[in-house]
Amino acid sequence: MTVVEERAGVAETESARRAMIDSQLRVSGVNDPAILAAFLAVPREDFVPEARRAVAYADRAVALGDGEVLSPALTYGQMLTAAEPTADDSVLVIGNPGGYLAALAEKLAGTVTLVAAGGDWAKAGEYSLVLVDGAIEAVPAALAGVVTAEGRVVGGMVERGVTRLALGRKVAGSLAMTVLAEADFAPLAAFAAPRKWSF
C-alpha cells in the first residue's frame, strides 16, 4: 500500500466515523460532547476482523466470529449516556469482546478494567461503574459484589426475548435494575437464566 492509498484509507474511515456520529448517535439523543469526542477518537474498525472492516460503521451489530458480536454504536452511546462516566470513576467492563466499549470508556473515566463475561469477573474487586457489554438474562448475585456502595451497573437485559438497556444501582447490598429503553444487545451466554426442566 502506498502512502497516498494509506492516507485515503484513513480519511475514508474518519469520514465514516463522523457520519456515524452525525447520523446514528446525535439524531438518537446521544449528544454529550465528551461521549461524542470518545466515539470520534476511537477507531471502531480496529475492533472488527479485517474482513468486516467495511461494515464497521454500519448502523447494526457486526458479527466477529465464534459467536461474538460488536453491538451497534448507538447501543454503546446509549450505555455511556445512561452511565454518565466521570474521571473519578473506576470502571469494570464485562463482556465478549468488550474491547471497543472499554476503549470508549477509557476516554471518559479514571481507570478501566476489561474482563470476559465467562471469566473470573466476580473477583475483580469493586468498581464505581460496571458496564456489561451484552444482555443479561439473569442478574447474578455476584454482580452486586463488584459494585461500590454508591456504584452503578449499565448493560442490557433480556425480558421476554427482547433486549433492553438497563441501569442498576446498589441498594442495601443488592442491585436494583431499572429498564430504560429497548436496545440492540447480543445476549451473553455467561449470564443466561438457568433452564427449567419440563416435559
The residues annotated as belonging to the active site are: 71
Angstrom distance (rounded) from CA 124 to CA 115: 8
Q: Which grid cell is 88? A: 473519578
Q: Which residues contact 114 (CB under 8 A, 6 or more apart)?
A: 93, 95, 98, 99, 102
Please tell me the total number of residues recorded for the chain in this structure: 199
Q: What is the rounded CA–CA span in Å between residue 36 and residue 25?
A: 8
Evaluate the omega torsion of the peptide bond into residue 72 and state whether it is cis, within 30 degrees of 0.
no
